[in-house]
């Protein structure tokens, strides 16, 4: 391919300077070298690009076509070069996050809003990890972070702690269980339990609380949206086991209260999984630090 970026830069610079000497200076070349470059293109395409007899230099139709091309292509090239430098410096890139808990949106979205202000050149995408196993995709580099409550030992991956949480049974302030210091598993036998629409085996309230006690709620109702879940609880349509940060969310109704599950409570730790090689990446570690600070701001 005869036409190269340097040729477009040459044509662009000469057209802007109207003078071969000045253009050569700007390009850190001699006028002769610049003349050779133009001559090479002219010889290859068997046409002229500039009217030499004009002072200042004038563009022929062919020259104007190449100038049009240069004006479209060069900004793209320069932007991409800038982006590559930013990526190399760890100041730009992509942050694909997969979350394994619906309730995480309540802290993730305000955290990302703050993150975007600090790292405007990072392209962010979020995907729910309920419908697939995100860890193999994380290992392959298709995603960058997995927010999870269940760390596993997998070579090449690190699970970094974000913050502790407690699962609470959320009910309205008129609920019959509202005066109990904590909730026993048996207390849920007569309750409608509202959950997110995921497999039972992935819900902590069943895995760690109800199934070990061999207790089945009177009814299980699945709801996709956290706000809808909160509305149903507020009007007495059921209860739900939810992380404590949801009760602090500004959108949560004041009439909702949370009670510990069991005398000791059901405690957990939220983690961010990433590839070992990405731990030091500035824009990834910055997100993890922001997420860690989420609870401290309360």
Partner DNA sequence: GTATCTGACCTGGTCAGGGA
Partner DNA sequence: TCCCTGACCAGGTCAGATAC
Site of interaction with DNA (CB under 7 A): 4, 6, 19-21, 29-33, 35-40, 50, 52-53, 55-57
Question: At closest approach, how far in Å is the CB of 16 from DNA?
Answer: 12
Q: Which is nearer to DNA, 50 or 294 (CB)?
A: 50
Q: Which is nearer to DNA, 1 or 76 (CB)?
A: 1
Both structure tokens of 279: 């731990």
By the 8 A CB rule, do 230 and 253 touch?
yes
Question: At closest approach, how far in Å is the CB of 43 from DNA?
Answer: 9
**CA–CA gap between residue 203 and residue 217 (Å, rounded):** 14
Question: At closest approach, how far in Å is the CB of 32 from DNA?
Answer: 3
**CA–CA gap between residue 65 and residue 59 (Å, rounded):** 9
Question: At closest approach, how far in Å is the CB of 50 from DNA?
Answer: 6
Q: Which is nearer to DNA, 39 or 116 (CB)?
A: 39
Question: At closest approach, how far in Å is the CB of 54 from DNA?
Answer: 9
Q: Which is nearer to DNA, 6 or 178 (CB)?
A: 6
What would the DSSP string read from start to end of the chain?
----HHHHHHHHHHHHHTSHHHHHHHTTS-HHHHHHHHHHHHHHHTS-SEETTSSS-EE-HHHHHHHHHHHHHHHHHHHHHHHHHHHHTTSSEEEEEEES-GGGHHHHHHHHHHHHHH-TTEEEEEEE-TTS-HHHHHHTTS-SEEEES-----TTEEEEEEEEEEEEEEEETT-TTTT-SSB-GGGGGGSEEEE-SS-GGG-HIIIIIIHHHT---SEEEE-S-HHHHHHHHHTTS-BEEEETHHHHSTTS-TTEEEEEBSTT-EEEEEEEEEEGGGTT-HHHHHHHHHHHTTGGG-
Q: Which is nearer to DNA, 20 or 97 (CB)?
A: 20
Q: Which is nearer to DNA, 44 or 207 (CB)?
A: 44
Q: Which is nearer to DNA, 58 or 110 (CB)?
A: 58
Q: Which is nearer to DNA, 6 or 116 (CB)?
A: 6
Question: At closest approach, how far in Å is the CB of 143 from DNA?
Answer: 37
Question: At closest approach, how far in Å is the CB of 85 from DNA?
Answer: 22
Question: At closest approach, how far in Å is the CB of 8 from DNA?
Answer: 13
Both structure tokens of 55: 């002072």
């Amino acid at each position: 391919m005869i036409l190269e970026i340097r040729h477009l830069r040459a044509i662009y610079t000469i057209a802007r300077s109207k003078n071969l000497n000045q253009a050569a200076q700007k390009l850190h070349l001699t006028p002769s070298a610049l003349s050779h470059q133009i001559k090479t293109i002219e010889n290859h395409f068997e046409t002229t690009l500039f009217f030499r007899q004009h002072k200042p230099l004038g563009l022929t139709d062919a020259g104007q076509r190449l100038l049009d091309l240069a004006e479209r292509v060069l900004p793209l090239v320069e932007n991409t070069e800038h982006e590559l430098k930013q990526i190399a410096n760890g100041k730009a890139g992509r942050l694909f996050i997969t979350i394994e808990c619906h309730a995480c949106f309540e802290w993730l979205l305000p955290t990302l809003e703050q993150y975007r202000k600090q790292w405007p050149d990072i392209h962010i995408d979020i995907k729910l990890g309920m419908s697939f196993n995100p860890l193999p995709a994380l290992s392959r580099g298709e995603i960058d972070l997995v927010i999870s409550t269940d760390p596993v030992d997998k070579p090449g991956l690190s699970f970094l702690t974000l913050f502790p949480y407690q699962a609470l049974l959320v009910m309205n302030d008129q609920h019959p269980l509202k005066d109990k210091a904590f909730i026993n598993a048996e207390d849920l036998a007569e309750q409608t339990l509202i959950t997110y629409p995921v497999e039972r085996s992935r819900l902590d309230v069943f895995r760690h609380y109800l199934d070990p006690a061999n207790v089945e709620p009177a009814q299980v109702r699945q709801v996709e949206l956290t706000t809808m879940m909160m509305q149903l609880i507020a009007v007495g349509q059921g209860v739900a086991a939810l992380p404590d940060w949801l009760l602090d969310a500004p959108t949560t109704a004041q009439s909702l209260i949370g009670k510990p599950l069991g005398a000791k409570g059901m405690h957990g730790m939220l983690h961010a999984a990433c590839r070992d090689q990405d731990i030091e990446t500035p824009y990834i570690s910055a997100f993890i630090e922001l997420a860690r600070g989420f609870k401290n701001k309360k």
